Amino acid sequence: MINDTSSNVTNVTDTLEQSTETIDITGITLENAIAASIIFITAFTSLFINGAFGIFSATSKKLNPQLALLNIALSLCDFGGLSIFAFWTAPMTLLYVLQFY
């Protein structure tokens, strides 16, 4: 009975070693690189547009003050979310793709 469990443990460790040897993470393709580049370009373009809209709303004399404050608040919130996307997600995605090339 003891010999059966030791052989089972050996079989399990052999199976684990074989399964870890077959993991392949180099499946990065040209499509993934193009997608990462599009993410990067879109993030920085949106960041610029939101920043410009926030500045426009703050300096515009034609907007109702309540509407201007609402536009500024929305621009700041979008700017915060996009800055995380532009300065963390997009560069990390590009670095992940570029490390395989």
pLDDT at 23: 42
101 residues of the chain, pLDDT tens digit each = 555 555 554 555 555 555 444 444 555 667 777 777 888 888 889 889 988 988 888 888 888 888 888 888 998 888 888 888 888 887 787 787 777 66
**17 CB-near residues (< 8 Å, 6+ apart):** none
Within a domain: 79: yes
pLDDT at 21: 46
Within a domain: 35: yes
Within a domain: 16: no
Within a domain: 9: no
Q: What is the CA radius of gyration of the chain?
A: 26
Overall number of domains in the chain: 1
0.75 surpassed by pTM? no
Within a domain: 15: no
Within a domain: 72: yes
Tallying the residues shown for the chain, one arrives at: 101
In angstroms, the Cα distances linking 94 to 8, 23, 40, 82, 99 are 44, 22, 8, 16, 9
pLDDT at 75: 87
Within a domain: 41: yes
Expressed as residue numbers, the domain containing 92 is 29-98
Within a domain: 11: no
pLDDT at 89: 80
